[in-house]
Amino acid sequence: MKQKESEHAPERKFRAGGISATIWLNKATTPKGEATEYRTISLERSYLDKEGQWQATNSFRINDLPKAGIVLQKAYEFVVLQEQDLSNGGINYGRN
């Protein structure tokens, strides 16, 4: 069963201006009862509302798309390297 994102800290976050991609490491149990992990990525844009309060949305303007592409690429690279490191004997170079 997936943990709620609010119950644990993100594994990594990449940011370009107000655009961020957050990587979540999730733990679950397979139907056979085996423990497993998988990663999900959330993408959002932060902005100041009329009252000066920070808000977040998953709606993007056309000018946000290049930054979204950059943070998604970085997130993808991180996840691929994590999975590659784990399959090569558990060495984990990508974590800070």
In the chain, domain spans: 5-87
Which pLDDT value is given to residue 87? 73
Note every long-range contact of 74-81, with CB atoms under 8 Å and residues 24 or more positions apart, other chains counting.
74/14, 74/21, 75/12, 75/14, 75/21, 75/23, 75/41, 78/12, 78/14, 78/23, 79/23, 79/39, 79/41
Which pLDDT value is given to residue 28? 94
Which pLDDT value is given to residue 5? 47
Task: Please give the chain's pLDDT, 96 residues, in tens.
Answer: 444 545 689 999 999 999 999 999 999 999 999 999 999 999 999 999 999 999 999 999 999 999 999 999 999 999 999 888 777 765 554 444
Which pLDDT value is given to residue 50? 97
Which pLDDT value is given to residue 82? 86
Q: What is the pTM of this model?
A: 0.77
